[in-house]
């Protein structure tokens, strides 16, 4: 989990180089990248990885990220929280078959720190 927090801090630092008006778009793109990792794991182990479920979830997260850009950054933050829940399911259910050990915990902490930062940016008026 500590590595996820560190990676989240690095991601927030990278976001700082973007103009404020692009910060939410950056976090939406990063959400799409994060959502795409699990389908990759699933395709590598198609027998147990449940690729269809993983792809459907990835499309949902990408869609939520886009809606967050169009409607409210709070939806983007909620999408990050939902992705953290998705990570938790990979840690506690058979969805985690084929996923490297430790990855769901890494991603869960990463997702939550970015969700909090998106809310902070929204509240600060970015």
Domain spans of the chain, in order of start: 2-124
User: In sequence order, what DSSP letters do the residues of 37-73 get, joined into one string?
Assistant: HHHHHHHHTTTTS-HHHHHHHHHHHHHHHHHHHHT-H
pLDDT-based confidence at residue 14 (cuts at 50, 70, 90): very high
The reported pTM is: 0.91
Q: What is the pLDDT of residues 41-99, one digit of tens each?
A: 888 877 777 888 999 999 999 999 999 999 999 999 999 999 999 988 988 888 877 88
């Amino acid at each position: 989990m500590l590595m996820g927090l560190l990676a989240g801090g690095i991601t927030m630092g990278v976001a700082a180089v973007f103009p404020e008006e692009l910060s939410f778009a950056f976090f939406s793109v990063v959400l799409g990248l994060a959502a795409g990792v699990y389908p990759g794991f699933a395709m590598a182990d198609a027998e147990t990885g449940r690729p269809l479920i993983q792809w459907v979830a990835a499309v949902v997260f990408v869609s939520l990220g886009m809606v967050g850009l169009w409607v409210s950054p709070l939806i983007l933050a909620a999408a990050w929280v939902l992705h953290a829940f998705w990570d938790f399911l990979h840690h506690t259910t058979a969805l985690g078959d084929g996923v490297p050990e430790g990855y769901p915990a890494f991603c869960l902490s990463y997702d939550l720190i970015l969700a909090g930062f998106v809310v902070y940016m929204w509240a600060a008026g970015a």
